[in-house]
Amino acid sequence: MKTDAIKKYVFGKPFETNSTVEDIETSDGVPSYVTVSGDSIHITYNMGKNDKVYGMGEAVRGINKRGWIYETYCSDDPMHTETKRSLYGAHPFIIVDGEDVFGLFVDYPDRVTFDIGYTSINVIDITVGAPDYKLYLIEGETPLEIVRKFRQLIGRSYIAPFWSFGFQQSRWSYNTSRDVQSVIDNYRDNGFPIDAVYLDIDYMESFKDFTVSEQNFPDFGEFVKSVKAQNIHLVPIIDAGVKIEDGYDVYEEGRDNDYFCKDENGEDFVAAVWPGKVCFPDFLNPKAAEWFGMKYKTLTDLGIDGFWNDMNEPAIFYSEKGLERAIDKVTSYKGKNIGIYDFFGLKDTVLGVSNSPDDYSSIYHNVNGESVCHDTVHNIYGYNMTKSASDAFKKIEPDKNILMFSRASYIGMHRYGGIWMGDNQSWWSHIKLNLQMLPSLNMCGFMYTGADMVGFGDHCTEELALRWLALGIFNPLMRNHSALGTRNQEFYRFENRDAFRNLLKLRYALIPYLYSEYIKSVENSDLMFKPLSFEYRGDRFAEAVEDQLMVGESIMIAPVYEPNAIGRSVYIPEDMIAVKFRSEDDYSVQSYSKGHWFVEIANDEVVVFIRKNKALPLVKSADCTVNIDYSTLRFIGEIEDEFEYTLCRETGASNGESIISKENYSVSAPDNGTLKFNKI
């Protein structure tokens, strides 16, 4: 690889995150337009008035990150409002696109603050938590070139199994095997395609990792087999915390072998999460990581071939010490006539018990015999949990590609699994946030991703569900997931079932395209989801678009994310044809010339904008991914002479990864109204 446009600067003694895969010589000094001040923990850059800033991966706000302050700090926070600074993933990479075009990756596994025109509107000021970090400066002509170089630097992204491009239904929780079967039956009876159903924490025995409740899921292995026979994958959750309970093998093995994180006294660090008191496996200790990874075998032996790793920031509800401190504070007010500020302080004391900095600084890791405080490595905990599983899968079932995605992440983890966008809400604004995070995550290497479609927290409406689905069908990870106590949002619960069925089937018709574009963007270090500004450089309108995306090489999407809308304004950056789908077979086509348009989109429709001289491959939908019939392939679009398209297909697995074959098609001008194509 050509890395001469990447410069690496090393400050102090950085902790090795293994975020990169390329060896780059360390440069002396500092880059000319980045000034590192005395204590070498500030990186500042003066932006031009119209400079744009991209990146930051999983973060709130727009695709252009300018005008806010972000902190890379894996945080368990379900309120993704626009003033939040951190979410579950920590992705300290930005691209500045202005007179200078460059990327900055601050490889530091704890808090890094990116003040991008917040304190001073034209200044980027990056503050690193400690003076021990690596700084990569990536130069190039365009943001896309920088993404490509950066992605080569950090290594090839994880490739999810083909079946995981099917629709997946989740809820916290389907409590019994009967509940799960009823979800499957309802989807199938309604003619809705589906490939997976999720098992949230209640499938376990008292929330103990790698156990299954015998009462609620009797003969689990048989059950897994029986749903597999219906072409359904069950995807159980694995939480980071291991319940403290005598007689529970995972706990006892971890305790006896010193595989858990320690506190400042060298005792196992204890916190409370879903199972009550837990210990955290020390994923930074290679032996502990290997041990925990092999535990997934308990479930893969029963036929499970997909997992989601959760609570791995790690999330801490409370620690005994933290709780005691809070209770002392609260009781100290008893009988006193407290002022209003004391009252608010009291509230904050109680709320501050969870995920408290005091607790994180009491956690210690054993890194090859050296005790390392969690405070300096917080962001790579979940990363290493996911890596431990991925490493183990290669040993346990090399002939399978097992689905793995995580909540917490750091750059580097993208090689081992995908991520979902965490606990969002059934809010209209979160449809837009879902859209805006897709390209930002792609820039940081996270390609298998998606939001909890229809929203995790809060109650949804039928209209929101349909509009979200119209975006969800383009997310690689297309999962409908919701929280305990919220309105049921499985698609068969709503009145207009025909519309839900049609859109779900459209997803399946599009899977060959989406999968192919996904594979190609992984292999070419490209973006599957591109902001328009990356494609139409110099077009000031395209450069300002924040709510439309290029998806792969042929299409653009512009989903509706507001209630009671009859359509939306769309900027058409080049002549395109809009295909308005009511179903995979029922669609109308309209040509649009470059410019601003209002496009009517009813809530049972999806509009796909196809670029001129490009085509969109489609197949006939199927009830699940294994039944997709590629002989039904067709192309739609407007081709003047010829367009070549490469279709990627999964043909098996080896060494824990999908084997992918490629088929090239030549697509040419229509004959009897449909595009001609042949394999070349």
Structure tokens at 420: 């979902």
Closest contact distance (angstroms) between CB of 405 and ligand GLC is: 11
Closest contact distance (angstroms) between CB of 422 and ligand GLC is: 6
Nearer to ligand GLC, 424 or 516 (CB): 424
Nearer to ligand GLC, 422 or 573 (CB): 422
Please answer whether residues 576 and 612 qualify as being in contact, where contact means their C-beta atoms are separated by less than 8 angstroms: yes
Closest contact distance (angstroms) between CB of 389 and ligand GLC is: 17
- Strands 68-72, 112-116: parallel, antiparallel or unpaired by DSSP? antiparallel
Question: In this structure, how many other beta carbons lie within 10 angstroms of the beta carbon of residue 82?
Answer: 10
Give the residue from 104, 99, 22 showing the smallest Cα distance to 55.
Answer: 104
Nearer to ligand GLC, 21 or 484 (CB): 484
Q: Which residue is nearest to ligand GLC (CB)?
A: 172
**Coil, strand or helix at 231:** coil
User: Cα-Cα-Cα-Cα dihedral of 121, 124, 129, 134, to 10°?
Assistant: 170
Structure tokens at 157: 């992204």
How buried is residue 629: exposed, middle or buried, by Cβ count under 10 Å (0-12/13-18/19+)?
exposed
Nearer to ligand GLC, 354 or 583 (CB): 354
How far is Cα 342 from Cα 308, in angstroms, rounded to an integer?
41
Nearer to ligand GLC, 237 or 572 (CB): 237
Closest contact distance (angstroms) between CB of 543 and ligand GLC is: 35
Please answer whether residues 96 and 105 qualify as being in contact, where contact means their C-beta atoms are separated by less than 8 angstroms: no
Q: Please, what is the angle between helix 497-523 and helix 462-472, to 10°?
A: 30
Structure tokens at 414: 């993208």
Nearer to ligand GLC, 7 or 407 (CB): 407
Closest contact distance (angstroms) between CB of 86 and ligand GLC is: 15
Give the end-to-end CA distance of the chain in Å, rounded to a whole number. Answer: 30
Please answer whether residues 363 and 374 qualify as being in contact, where contact means their C-beta atoms are separated by less than 8 angstroms: yes
Closest contact distance (angstroms) between CB of 271 and ligand GLC is: 15
Nearer to ligand GLC, 88 or 571 (CB): 88
Give the residue from 643, 672, 372, 606 showing the smallest Cα distance to 468.
Answer: 606
Please answer whether residues 194 and 479 qualify as being in contact, where contact means their C-beta atoms are separated by less than 8 angstroms: no
Nearer to ligand GLC, 200 or 462 (CB): 200
Closest contact distance (angstroms) between CB of 177 and ligand GLC is: 18
- Strands 567-572, 595-600: parallel, antiparallel or unpaired by DSSP? antiparallel
List residues binding ligand GLC (CB under 6 A). 172, 200-201, 237, 310, 407, 422-423, 481
Closest contact distance (angstroms) between CB of 247 and ligand GLC is: 24
Closest contact distance (angstroms) between CB of 618 and ligand GLC is: 32
Nearer to ligand GLC, 128 or 315 (CB): 315
Structure tokens at 135: 């700084």
How far is Cα 113 from Cα 115, in angstroms, rounded to an integer?
6
Strands (E), 289-340: 306-310
Nearer to ligand GLC, 96 or 413 (CB): 413
Closest contact distance (angstroms) between CB of 34 and ligand GLC is: 36
Give the list of residues 6+ apart from residue 677 with CB closer than 8 angstroms, or none.
615, 633, 634, 635, 645, 665, 666, 667, 668
